[in-house]
């Protein structure tokens, strides 16, 4: 399918299968509760995806889905689904970028589903960037967003995925390639129990500030808190 506009925004996500998502929360939550939490994250992320104007929206699923979650969640929405390529995260992102560029997109950005409170303005800033590459640094040493305009899809080669060196090594590769990069404000992912506790507090602050986003996720976390699970 050819591009209908010049920009594409991709959500990278896992098929929500019990026991296979957010496994680092297993010391805090049972697998069924963790699955429910991740589904909240996905719904929040999909809502954010479609809220961005002037882009074609995609969800890249990490493996052939065994549930109908994404079919249901994207029904009646203008979102294309695709299965990510095989390989490590860098190889999968590289292929996703290359495929979108082949379809005619001039600018492509990828976000993850682990930052449910990510401000929409950060995504919009990334899509306005004039740099070859734009990166949203996350507090764990990785990034919550990466976008590019083509030509540098090999910057993921040799990056130690799953470590706190992901951002630093990506920037080093970019420097070696003499690529121009823009860094967005720092944000956070939710991977560990302490991240989840912070998320609950952050969502409460947002509500008190008059920001109603992610209310369903906050209600879910409040129920967990009342059950003394977090």
Confidence band (pLDDT; 50, 70, 90) for 213?
A: low
Q: Is 196 part of any domain?
A: no
Selection from 191, 192, 190 nearest residue 203 by Cα: 190
Q: Is 71 part of any domain?
A: yes
Q: Is 211 part of any domain?
A: no
Selection from 46, 37, 82, 67 nearest residue 218 by Cα: 37
pLDDT tens-digit series, residues 45-75: 999 999 999 999 999 999 999 999 999 999 9
Which domain CATH number covers 137? 3.90.550.10
Residue 42: domain span: 7-188
Structure-model confidence comparison of residues 213 and 48, the more confident one: 48
pLDDT tens-digit series, residues 129-167: 999 999 999 999 999 999 999 878 899 999 999 999 999
Q: Is 212 part of any domain?
A: no
Task: State how far the alpha carbon of 151 is from the alpha carbons of 1, 47, 87, 123, 166, in Å.
Answer: 21, 30, 21, 21, 20
What domain count does the chain have?
1
pTM of the model: 0.94
Determine the average pLDDT of the residues in 28-51. 94
Q: Is 51 part of any domain?
A: yes
Any idea what the Cα angle at residue 10 is, between residues 64 and 204, rounded to 5°? 105
Q: Is 169 part of any domain?
A: yes
Selection from 36, 35, 12, 11 nearest residue 23 by Cα: 35
Q: Is 225 part of any domain?
A: no
Other beta carbons within 10 angstroms of residue 106's beta carbon come to 13
pLDDT tens-digit series, residues 88-122: 999 999 999 999 999 999 999 999 999 989 999 99
Task: Return the pLDDT at 229.
Answer: 56
Other beta carbons within 10 angstroms of residue 108's beta carbon come to 29
Confidence band (pLDDT; 50, 70, 90) for 215?
A: confident
Percent of the chain predicted with pLDDT > 70: 96
- Compute the CA torsion angle 110, 115, 119, 125 (nearest 10 deg): -20
Q: Is 58 part of any domain?
A: yes
Structure-model confidence comparison of residues 210 and 230, the more confident one: 210
pLDDT tens-digit series, residues 163-211: 999 999 999 999 998 889 999 999 999 999 999 999 999 998 888 787 6
**Which backbone phi and psi does 69 adopt, to 5 degrees?**
-55, -50
């Amino acid at each position: 399918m050819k591009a209908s506009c010049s920009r594409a925004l991709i959500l990278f996500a896992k098929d929500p299968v019990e026991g296979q998502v957010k496994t680092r929360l297993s010391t805090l939550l049972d697998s069924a509760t963790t699955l429910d939490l991740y589904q909240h994250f996905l719904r929040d992320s999909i809502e954010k995806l479609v809220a961005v104007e002037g882009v074609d929206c995609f969800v890249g699923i990490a493996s052939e889905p065994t549930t109908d979650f994404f079919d249901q969640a994207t029904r009646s929405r203008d979102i294309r689904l695709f299965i990510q390529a095989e390989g490590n995260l860098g190889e999968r992102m590289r292929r996703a970028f290359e495929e979108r560029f082949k379809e005619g997109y001039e600018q492509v950005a990828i976000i993850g589903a682990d930052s449910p409170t990510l401000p929409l303005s950060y995504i919009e800033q990334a899509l306005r960037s004039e740099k070859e590459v734009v990166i949203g640094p996350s507090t764990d040493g990785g990034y919550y967003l990466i976008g590019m305009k083509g030509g540098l899809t090999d910057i993921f080669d040799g990056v130690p995925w799953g470590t706190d060196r992901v951002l630093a090594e990506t920037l080093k590769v970019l420097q070696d390639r003499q690529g121009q990069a823009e860094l967005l404000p720092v944000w956070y992912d939710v991977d560990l129990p302490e991240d989840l506790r912070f998320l609950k507090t952050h969502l409460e602050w947002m509500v008190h500030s008059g920001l109603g986003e992610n209310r369903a996720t906050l209600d879910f976390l409040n129920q967990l808190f009342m059950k003394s699970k977090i």
